[in-house]
Amino acid sequence: MRIVLTYGTYDLLHIGHINLLRRAKELGDYLIVGLSTDEFNKIKGKKAYHNFDERKKLLEAIKYVDLIIEENSWEDKRKHIKEFNVDALVMGSDWEGKFDDLSDLCEITYLPRTEGISTTKIKRDLKYS
Ligand code: C2G
């Protein structure tokens, strides 16, 4: 059983998120998503439109996702990788290199971002539409 782990805020769910989750799941058998809590989003400087419970419910409806855990801090990753016996940490390429320090615990894979879509772009386009 190859376990894959990824993290994110997953606000205003869009095709970029789905593409990431689909490819992450293709790299293993079981996909865990560390979902940023509302409190951690404040630390990340993000104000999500949907709160944690709403974002969790949306992710639970995605067939690629097997388990959702809370992401409460930048430091959570090392603990989670050990706790869940993770084989691979997978993130979008905007994080390229940022988690290589965890390569002593598991494989680190960065997947190309989906161009032309982001939560920020959605908010901006709606604001000026
Ligand atoms: N993503 C993507 N293509 C996009 C937008 C996002 O591949 N057009 C990927 C991101 O690279 C990330 C995942 O989708 O791997 C979730 O994106 P966000 O919710 O923006 O996650 P982020 O705020 O980057 O949180 O500790 C890590 C952080 O929690 C990651």
pLDDT tens-digit series, residues 12-68: 999 999 999 999 999 999 999 999 999 999 999 999 999 999 999 999 999 999 999
Q: What is the pLDDT of residue 2?
A: 98
pLDDT digits (tens, 9 = 90+) for 72-113: 999 999 999 999 999 999 999 999 999 999 999 999 999 999
Q: What is the pLDDT of residue 127?
A: 95
Output the CA 20–ligand 1 centroid distance in Å: 8
Residue 128 token pair: 């000026």
Ligand 1 pocket test: pick from 111, 113, 122, 124 the residue with the most ligand atoms within 8 Å of its Cβ.
Answer: 113
Task: Tell me which residues are annotated as active site.
Answer: 44, 46
Output the CA 49–ligand 1 centroid distance in Å: 15
At 114, is the pLDDT very low, low, confident or very high (cuts 50, 70, 90)? Answer: very high
Question: How many angstroms separate the CA atoms of 105 and 101, rounded?
Answer: 9
Asked if 111 and 24 touch (Cβ cutoff 8 Å), the reply is: yes
Q: What is the pLDDT of residue 93?
A: 98
Q: What is the pLDDT of residue 78?
A: 97
Question: How many angstroms separate the CA atoms of 8 and 92, rounded?
Answer: 10
At 122, is the pLDDT very low, low, confident or very high (cuts 50, 70, 90)? Answer: very high
Please report, as a single letter, which amino acid is at residue 22: R
The ligand 1 atom at the shortest distance from the C-alpha of residue 44 is 23
Residue 122 token pair: 């959605």
The ligand 1 atom at the shortest distance from the C-alpha of residue 94 is 11
Shortest-distance Cα residue to atom 4 of ligand 1: 16
